Amino acid sequence: MSSIIHILPDEISQDDIDDLKKRYDRVREYIWQKDYKNLISLSQVLETFIRFIETGKSLCIYGRVIKVDDFGKLIFAELQDEFRSIELKLSFNINPLPFDIWKQYVKLGDWIVVSGQASYSRDGDPQIEVHDLSFLSLCGLLPNYSGISEHALSSKRASRFVHTQMISNPKEVAASKARSTALLAIREFLADENFDEQITPILTNSFHGGGSHPFTTYSRHENRDLYLRLTAEIAIKMLIAGGLSRVYEIGPSFRNETTDSLHMLGFTLLEAYAVCVTFDEMIELLERMIIRVFSDVKNVWGGDELPHLNLEFQKFDRIPAKYAISKFVGVDFTLAEGIAKLAKLVGAEFPKNDEETTKLIYRAVEKLVYPSITRPTFLTELPAGISPLIQENPQDSTTLQRAFLVWNGIQFGEVFSSKLDAVSITEDIMKQTVDWKSMSGIVNRDYRNFLHAMFCGIPPTSVMDVGIERLFMLLLGKKDIRTLLIDI
């Protein structure tokens, strides 16, 4: 089978390449050659703009040209850097050289450097009167394809590109920077709580993912299949067995299954494990971390950039799954008629055994309870029976020490206590082999190294998981997780 190779986008022709080459030849003498340290970011300029007015000091900034109004011997343009923009003023009568360079060579989308005097426009907005102009990069696309201004999404294919969306909508740039702020807040919080960040393998020799379907790849050198991990749980627990007490990883995970508004093939998962921390203490830890993340993001990016953020938090709610179904669905799942009603509501058959009943309850929680939860809420006392690595509730063996964190209909976090009994874990894993063998495709599932670690013994360990993209959905007010994808 031959390789499929695509080089040029549909929007670019050989004529476009030739035109861009000619433009570079013409502007070569105007390419910026000075030290980049001489440049000031637009955000820095705008934050201290009044000082440049008062001192009369010339400033030198860079950015992308996103708008031009040409009035003959006077040009007004808009320069954008990240999510900020500023107006440029070029006058033939005052500074003819940069005016002529602009007239001949500058196009929408170009990255340029301008030097000039700070001033205010007639409307009182910051403005720079340009007296020098250089080029950093040329835009080789027509405005309706490069994502400039209102033309950004005119190409159906280009509308998927993250760079096109960011160019046309500066709020998308702010959103990307808000994600960075959120990740930094998570790492700082966990460092303050004495967690060590680790990196565990993404490609694994064995697939550990219960009934999930793996992504399989092939190692030519080793002549064997490898798998993209579903979770770092096995690797982190082996680190716990080795002696680490507080460990976390923020890394990619993969599921070879259906995609929809809440599920992606590849996603980012925070997994944090803490020894001798109780289940309730881990819930409180996750609660404090989420409050810290939202607080930091709002402090940096609230207001105009992310106007939907509302951080009027009180303490998170907690509600057992049984009462949540009773409250929001009006069903008691401990009764046969309740199970029958749940099956009808979610479009499923009446369960044939306890395992199917447990799966039905989880499905009902997701489909019928989540949409009713608008405040940050921990759903506790979830049913036992399908999670062999999670500890049962000491007071009620029919439920688990497990809680889902749900907000605005989205389950984006989880807390649970790890099961410690190596014998019980072994028996539970063996029970699943029947289902695994019935699944399509040959998949290597090797639990020997993990069980060796478990038989070495690990102390009581509580876990919190957070789906990073789902957290971003809440932060950014997104309704579909696929809008966070970077299409490359």
Condensed to tens digits (0 to 9), the pLDDT of residues 8-31 reads: 877 788 888 999 999 999 999 999
Residue 372 has pLDDT above 90, yes or no: yes
Residue 271 has pLDDT above 90, yes or no: yes
Q: How far is CA 386 from CA 360, 399, 456, in A?
A: 11, 11, 25
> What is the structure's pLDDT at 439?
73
Nearest to 329 by CA among 410, 356, 321, 403: 321
| 80 CB-side CA count, 13 A | 21
Q: Which residue has the tokens 């690595």?
A: 389
Q: What is the pLDDT of residues 123-143, one digit of tens each?
A: 999 999 999 999 999 988 766
Average pLDDT over residues 378-401: 91
Average pLDDT over residues 429-443: 78
C-alpha–C-alpha distance, residues 261 and 256, integer Å = 16
149: left (phi over 0), alpha (psi -120 to 50) or beta: left
Residue 11: partners with Cβ closer than 8 Å, 6 or more residues away: 141, 142, 145, 155, 157, 158
> What is the structure's pLDDT at 161?
77
Q: What is the pLDDT of residues 209-265, one digit of tens each?
A: 877 888 999 999 999 999 999 999 999 999 999 999 999 999 999 999 888 889 999
Residue 182 has pLDDT above 60, yes or no: yes
pLDDT category of residue 162 using cuts at 50, 70 and 90: confident
Select the more confidently predicted residue: 333 or 289. 289
CB 425 within 8 A of CB 388: yes
pLDDT category of residue 164 using cuts at 50, 70 and 90: confident
pLDDT category of residue 400 using cuts at 50, 70 and 90: very high
Put simply, whether the predicted model's pTM sits higher than 0.95 gets the answer no
> How confident is the prediction for the chain on average, in pLDDT?
88
CB 372 within 8 A of CB 328: yes
DSSP letter (8 states) at residue 350: P
- Find how far residue 57's CA is from the centre of its chain: 41
Judged by average pLDDT, the poorest of 74-78, 177-181, 314-318, 396-400 is: 314-318
Select the more confidently predicted residue: 121 or 163. 121
C-alpha–C-alpha distance, residues 423 and 455, integer Å = 8
Residue 150 has pLDDT above 50, yes or no: no
Q: Are strands 59-70 and 74-81 parallel, antiparallel or unpaired?
A: antiparallel
Beta-carbon count within 10 A of 129 CB: 16
Residue 305 has pLDDT above 60, yes or no: no
Select the more confidently predicted residue: 212 or 147. 212
CB 246 within 8 A of CB 195: yes
C-alpha–C-alpha distance, residues 160 and 32, integer Å = 32
> What is the structure's pLDDT at 314?
64
Residue 303 has pLDDT above 60, yes or no: no
Select the more confidently predicted residue: 158 or 36. 36
Domains of the chain as residue ranges with CATH: 14-152 (2.40.50.140), 172-316+375-484 (3.30.930.10)
Type of residue found at 390: I
CB 399 within 8 A of CB 428: no
Nearest to 195 by CA among 243, 241, 249: 249
Residue 204 has pLDDT above 80, yes or no: yes
C-alpha–C-alpha distance, residues 130 and 101, integer Å = 12
CB 313 within 8 A of CB 305: no
Angle separating helix axes 170-192 and 468-476, nearest 10 degrees:
130
Q: Are strands 266-275 and 224-228 parallel, antiparallel or unpaired?
A: unpaired
C-alpha–C-alpha distance, residues 288 and 186, integer Å = 10
Residue 445 has pLDDT above 90, yes or no: no
> What is the structure's pLDDT at 158?
59
> What is the structure's pLDDT at 483?
84
CB 409 within 8 A of CB 370: yes
Nearest to 343 by CA among 323, 367, 322, 319: 367
306: left (phi over 0), alpha (psi -120 to 50) or beta: beta
Residue 146 has pLDDT above 60, yes or no: no
CB 378 within 8 A of CB 321: no
C-alpha–C-alpha distance, residues 197 and 191, integer Å = 8
> What is the structure's pLDDT at 311?
53
> What is the structure's pLDDT at 29?
94
Select the more confidently predicted residue: 187 or 374. 187
C-alpha–C-alpha distance, residues 94 and 112, integer Å = 20
Judged by average pLDDT, the poorest of 112-121, 308-317, 333-342, 459-468 is: 308-317
Percent of the chain scored above 70 by pLDDT? 93
Residue 144 has pLDDT above 90, yes or no: no
Residue 147 has pLDDT above 50, yes or no: no
